[in-house]
Structure 1
C-alpha cells in the first residue's frame, strides 16, 4: 500500500512543473481581466461623458463664474491700466506722487476717446457716491494732450478741475478698485464695510439690508416647510392606506401642479385671493366677514401660494416611504394593548422619518431660492434674496453685488445641508 502511495518520477516532475505553469496562466488571466475591466470602464465613461460635459457647461461653470464675480473685478484695472500700476505702490502716507496723477489724467483722456469710462465710473460710484461725477467731469475738462503727456503739473490740474482728487477717501477707493481682487461686494452683502484704515466694521444702521433680508428668506422658507409638512403628512398617509382607485385619483391631484405652469398657478392664486376674489366673496356670502380681507401682497399670500406650489415635493417622498411600511406593525402594537395614538407615535412615525427628512430638505432648499411667487404675490417687505439678486443683475447691472448675494445664498444652502445631514444622517436623505 505504501508503495502504491508513493508518486512516480513522472508524477513528481509534473507536480513540480504545475506551479510555474499555474503562475503564468494566472498572470495572463489577470492581464485579460484588467483589460476587460479597463474596456468596461472606458465604455461607462463614454456613456457618462456627454452628461458630465453638459452639466459642467450649463451648471458648474455658471456657478463658478458667479462665485468668481463676487471677488474678481477688473473693470477699473482694464479701463485705467496706468492708474492701476501707478497707484498700487502708494502707501497712503501723504498725497500720491505726480506720476499717479499723470497716470490718472492719461487714462481719463484715453478713456474719453475710446468711451471706456462707463464701467470704471460705475464701479467707483458703487463704493463712494459721487465718484461717477468726478470721473466724467474731469475727463471732459482735461485737455486732449494724448497718453504720453509730461507728468509735471497734473496734480494741480486735476485738483483744479475737481478738488475731490485731493481727498484721501477718493484716492483710497480708487486704489482698492484698481486691484483685480476685491472684498467690497461680499462685505456689502454681509452689511459690512472696510474703512480707510482697512478695518472692517458694520455699516450704519440705516444702510444695513442684506443680513435682515437673509433672515427673512430663512424665516419664510422655514414657515413654508412647516406648513407643507403639516398638510403633506396626512395626505401622504391617506395615499398609502387607501385602495387603488382612490389612490390613483389622489395621486393625479397631487401631480397635477407639475403639469401646470408656475406662472399660471400664481396668477390663479392672485385671482382667488384678491379683494373681489373667490375666497373673499365666499366668506362675505356666508357672513363670516363684513369686508374683504387683505389676503394678497403680504406675507400670508406668499406663504399660502408657495405652500401650495411646493406641497407635492413633501408628499411624494413621504408617500414613497409610507408605502413600504407594513400595516402589520401598527396592528401588532394595537393587539398588545397600545392605543392608536401611542402606536402611531412610537411605531409608525419613526419609520416615516426618512421621507419626512427628505421632503423637508427638498421643500426648504427650493423655497429658499424662490423668485416668481414672492415677486408677484408678496409686498415690498416680503421679497426674498432671489428678488434682489435678479434686481442687481438686470436692473442696475451690479453684477458684483448680485454675485455676492448669490454666493451668500449658496453658502446658506450648503451650510444647512451639512447640518441637516449631520443631524439626520445621509441614510435618511436618500429615499428610493
Structure 2
C-alpha cells in the first residue's frame, strides 16, 4: 500500500535525524557541564553536613562500649532471659573480661558508660576488677560476692543485659525522662530526675516568645523601610545590619554590662523617673529575651522587608478607592501579601533560637538555660556523647515537626522568600 502524505511528512529524513542527534549531544554536554559545576557543592554538603549529621544522630543509639570492652559478658547476657539470677557462666565471662582490661584505660571507659545507666556501677566495676584473683577461679560467683554483695542485686545484671546489644535505646529514653526497668518495662524516671521534658518545654517557650517579639518589632520597621526613599532605606538597612559587624559573644557580653543594676539601662530609667529602684534585668528570663531579640531581630526584618518591597501600592489604593477603611485594607490586602515574609522570618528566627547557647549562658540564670547548654555540657564536660546526640536528635525532630505543621497551616511556598 502506498504511504500517505502524512506518513511521508512524519518520516525523518537523514538531515533532520542528524540535527536531532546534534541537539541531543549538545543537551547531554550541557547537562554534564552543569553536573560538573554542581559536584563540588554537592560533595562539600554531603561530607561536611549530611554525613556528620547522620553520624551525630546515629550516636544516640550506638553502643560500642559494652560489646567492645566486655565481649564475653555481652554474649552471655544476650542469651540470658533476664529473669532471676544469672548462672555461673555469666560471672565467669565477666571475670575474664575484667581481667583483660583492668590494667588498661578501657576499665574507666566502660565503668563510666555503665555508670550512666546505674549510678555507682563504675566504682563497683573498678573495685571488683582490682580485687579479682589473677588466675581463673572455679568459685567465680563466690569470688564476686566476697568482693561486694551488690553483685546479688538484679539491677546490676539487668543493666548488663539491657546494654549488651550493639544498639541501645538508653540515650533516647533518658532524653525523654524514661527508663527501662529490669523486666523490660518502659517507665518514667523518679520525679527529681525529670529534667529533659521541662527543658524542651522551656526551650520551645523561649523560642516562640522571641520569635513573636521579633515579628512584632520587625514588621513595622520593615514596613517603614519599604515605604522610605532609596537614600533613607539604605541608611535604615545599614542600621539593621550593624549587629552583624560584631560577634555574638561580644553582643551578649555587652548586654551583661548594660542590663546590670548599675548598668546604662537602669540608670537611664531612674534618671527619667520611670523607676525608683533598679530592675532585675540580668541573669533571668527578661535578660534572655532582651538579648536574644536583639541578636535575632535582623533575621526577622530582612525577609519581611524583601517581600514588602515587592508589593505594589496599586493594590492598597484600589482597596481604598472601593471604600475600605485603612484597618480593613491592612487586614484583607496588605497583611496577606506579606505573609510569605512573616512565615520565612518567623521560621528563621525560631530555628536559630532553639539552638541558642552563648546568650542564655551569659545573661540567663540557672533556670533559663536552653537545650543547647545541656548539649554542650554533655559533649564537653560530662563526655556523654550518646545523651548529647539524643538531645540533639529529638530537638531536630521537634523542629521538623513544627516546620511541617507550619507548612501545612500556611503553605510551604510561604516559608521561603521568592
Q: For 1:357-402, what per-residue CA distance to the aligned partner results, in whole angstroms no more than 9, with x for missing partners?
A: 1111111111111111111100111010011000111110011110
1:182/1:261 Cα in 2 relative to 1: closer, same or farther (>3 Å)? same
User: Does residue 225 of the first structure (1) align with residue 215 of the second (2)?
Assistant: no
1:83 and 1:98 map into 2 onto residues whose CA distance is 12
Where does residue 279 of structure 1 map in the other structure? 265
2:68 and 2:144 map into 1 onto residues whose CA distance is 21
Where does residue 53 of structure 2 map in the other structure? 63
Shift of 1:288: 2.0
1:49 and 1:31 map into 2 onto residues whose CA distance is 27
Moved more, 407-416 or 51-60: 51-60
Where does residue 108 of structure 1 map in the other structure? 98
Q: Within 5 A, what are the aligned runs for 1:4-403? A: 22=12, 28-145=18-135, 149=136, 152-403=138-389
SS of the residue corresponding to residue 225 of structure 2 reads helix
Where does residue 3 of structure 1 map in the other structure? none
Runs (5+) with no aligned partner, structure 1? 1-11
Shift of 1:283: 1.3
1:94 and 1:270 map into 2 onto residues whose CA distance is 58
1:27/1:117 Cα in 2 relative to 1: closer, same or farther (>3 Å)? farther
Shift of 1:32: 3.7
1:242/1:104 Cα in 2 relative to 1: closer, same or farther (>3 Å)? same
Cα pair 1:76 1:119 within 8 Å, conserved? no
1:384 and 1:228 map into 2 onto residues whose CA distance is 19
Shift of 1:179: 1.3
SS of the residue corresponding to residue 88 of structure 1 reads helix
Where does residue 9 of structure 1 map in the other structure? none
1:157/1:29 Cα in 2 relative to 1: closer, same or farther (>3 Å)? farther
1:159/1:341 Cα in 2 relative to 1: closer, same or farther (>3 Å)? same
Cα pair 1:354 1:428 within 8 Å, conserved? yes
User: Does residue 426 of the first structure (1) align with residue 412 of the second (2)?
Assistant: yes
Moved more, 218-227 or 48-57: 48-57
SS of the residue corresponding to residue 22 of structure 1 reads coil
Runs (5+) with no aligned partner, structure 2? none
Shift of 1:255: 1.0
Shift of 1:51: 1.1
2:49 and 2:233 map into 1 onto residues whose CA distance is 37
SS of the residue corresponding to residue 383 of structure 2 reads coil
When the two chains are superposed, the root-mean-square deviation of aligned CA atoms in Å is: 2.0
TM-score normalised by structure 1 residue count? 0.92
Shift of 1:50: 1.1
Cα pair 2:69 2:110 within 8 Å, conserved? yes
Q: For 1:161-199, what per-residue CA distance to the aligned partner results, in whole angstroms no more than 9, with x for missing partners?
A: 111222211011012222111111101100111111101
Shift of 1:25: 5.3
2:36 and 2:148 map into 1 onto residues whose CA distance is 63
Cα pair 1:123 1:177 within 8 Å, conserved? no
Shift of 1:37: 2.6
2:178 and 2:83 map into 1 onto residues whose CA distance is 25
Moved more, 123-132 or 112-121: 112-121
Moved more, 174-183 or 407-416: 174-183
